[in-house]
Structure 1
Amino acid sequence: MFRPAPARRLLAAAVLAGALVTGSTACGQENGNGSVPPGAVGPAATSAVPAPSPAAAVPGPAPDPAAIPLRPAVQEAAAVIPQPVRVQVEGTGIDLEVIPEGVEANGAMALPDNHYQAAWYRYGPAPGAGEGSSVLAAHVDSRTEKLPIARLKDVTPGTVLTVTREDGSVLRYATEGVENIAKRSLDGHRLFDRTGSPRLKLVTCGGEWLEAQDDYEDNVVLTAAPLS
């Protein structure tokens, strides 16, 4: 019977007040507390337009309230993009169900507690968004076996990734490259970027196993660009 491994981090991060985040990333084996450093914990809010001070008011009859356009306190949400439900990497055996995950109490991204699901960071762009990085992350192994995503480090440029969305639509991406990045130096802001050209980031652990830290030394980050 499968027994989850001890809790380990998948991408740890520090959140900058009122902004995006930077930080180091960590990963781990199967558990419910693996984590990835997120960007800001939700869409940026826009303050309501302040009312003019009485001193600045222009004398005259009061305007018709129905004719005054009111700006909402928070920007209205853009068109809803279907959530990802599956990710596959051609020729690798990597084929994972995808579920949305948020943030743990410590500010790191939550991961599924099993070996057959990947997490999509639901506070960042979804696959198919017009800009920014869509982040998917999964555990590299369990106590008993290496999982298919352990092959991520060997994926070559040009390899095709397929993302299936909840409405049945399919997106295709071409691998640009795979980086083995030390967790202590991973740029969380770049990984979770909300602006710039749209990209898909698939992340797991890699490098040497550090017994003293009960964690892997690196994160493996695959970056892919959408195919038209």
Structure 2
Amino acid sequence: MRRRFRRDGGPGNTAIAAVTALALCAGMWLLHDGTGTHAPPQPSAAQAHSGSGRHDTGGSAAPALPPSPPDRVRIPAIDVDAPLTGLGLTGTGSLDVPPAGRKNLAGWYEAGTTPGETGTAIVAGHVDNADGPAVFYSLGALDKGSTIEVDRRDGTVAVFAVDAVEVYDARDFPDAKVYGAAGRPELRVITCGGGYSRTTGYRGNVVVYAHLTGSR
């Protein structure tokens, strides 16, 4: 039986990992450019989790918010200010992706945890398209402690702090670490990374780990 998403962000989240690594990562701009010299920034080792725990950067989480769909994501440190569209599952049970032609559009898994409630919320977006850099082109340049804000449909803004930024080869994507259940409100922001090949596109994914620190 295929494992699918559950509202609590549990084991069903692992169903999307491989497709996220593939569907977001064609690298059409670099392929068209032909040089690969404009590859997006990748996180340094200093931005990864520094210990064995998932939450090793310190700081307590704010109280969870009630469920509410998100409408917009902002990451001031890398000039992201983008609308969010709901993402469902494809016919094969994998996570769909935002339309490639809308480069400033990100998506969230709308059958999963909403950003701000207890659990692991998932946001994904393209790093580039055929015309150039897309919404999460600079995601790999984020530092620990950076702020991510999510406008929610109930009028609140969920404020997250970045705990770590890591890059994974598609063959070694840590499903449970990225998509596993969380006992506090957490957010994952995912795009392509891990080097680039003209034959296969991007080799993996950049993943930002963040937790809720407040709301307004």
- Would you call these one fold, judging by a TM-score over 0.5? yes
Q: How far does the alpha carbon of each residue in 1:201-222 deviate from its partner, in whole angstroms, 9 at most, with x for none? A: 1110012222222x31010000
Q: Distance in 2 between matches of 1:108 and 1:20?
A: 11
Aligned partner (choices 107, 115, 125) of residue 113 of structure 2: 125
Higher relative contact order (CA 8 A, sep 6+): 2
Tell me, in whole angstroms, the C-alpha distance in 2 between the residues paired with 1:167 and 1:21. 25
Contact kept, 8 Å, 2:88 with 2:110, in 1: the verdict is: yes
Matches within 5 A, 1:188-203: 188-203=175-190
* Structure 1 stretches of at least 4 aligned residues deviating more than 4 Å after TM superposition: none
Q: Which runs of 5+ in 1 are unaligned?
A: 1-13, 32-78
Cα distance in 2 for residues equivalent to 1:189 and 1:196: 14
In structure 1, what is the Cα distance between the partners aligned to 2:13 and 2:77?
34
Q: State whether structure 2 residue 25 is matched by structure 1 residue 28.
A: yes
1:84-137 deviation line (CA, Å, top 9, x unaligned) = 00001122111111111110112221111121211111121111112x210000
Q: Is the 8 A contact 2:103 2:133 kept in 1?
A: no
Question: TM-score of the superposition, structure 2-length normalised?
Answer: 0.69
Equivalent residue, structure 1, for 2:78:
92
Structure-2 residue corresponding to 1:205: 192
Higher helix share: 2
Find the aligned partners of 1:135 and 1:145 in 2 and give their Cα distance: 24
Q: Secondary structure at the match of 1:175?
A: strand
Provide the residue aligned with 2:56 in structure 1. none
Q: Specify the alignment match of 2:202 in structure 1.
A: 216
Tell me how far apart the structure 1 counterparts of residues 73 and 13 of structure 2 sit (CA, whole Å). 26
Match of 1:151 among 120, 133, 138: 138
Q: Deviations over 1:25-82 (max 9, x none)?
A: 4122599xxxxxxxxxxxxxxxxxxxxxxxxxxxxxxxxxxxxxxxxxxxxxxx9611
- Consecutive unaligned residues of structure 2, counting only runs of 5 or more, are 6-10, 29-64
Residue 68 of structure 1 is matched in structure 2 by none
1 CA distance for matches of 2:205 and 2:4? Answer: 25
Match of 1:225 among 203, 206, 211: 211
Q: 1:171 is matched by which residue type in structure 2?
A: A
**Secondary structure of the corresponding residue to residue 126 of structure 1:** coil
Report the TM-score, using the length of structure 1 for normalisation: 0.66
In structure 2, the CA distance between the partners of 1:30 and 1:162, relative to structure 1 (3 Å rule), is farther
Give secondary structure in 2 for the equivalent of 1:153. Answer: helix
Identity across matched positions, percent: 27
| Alignment correspondent of 1:60 | none
The 8 Å contact of residues 112 and 118 in structure 1, kept in 2 or not, is answered as yes
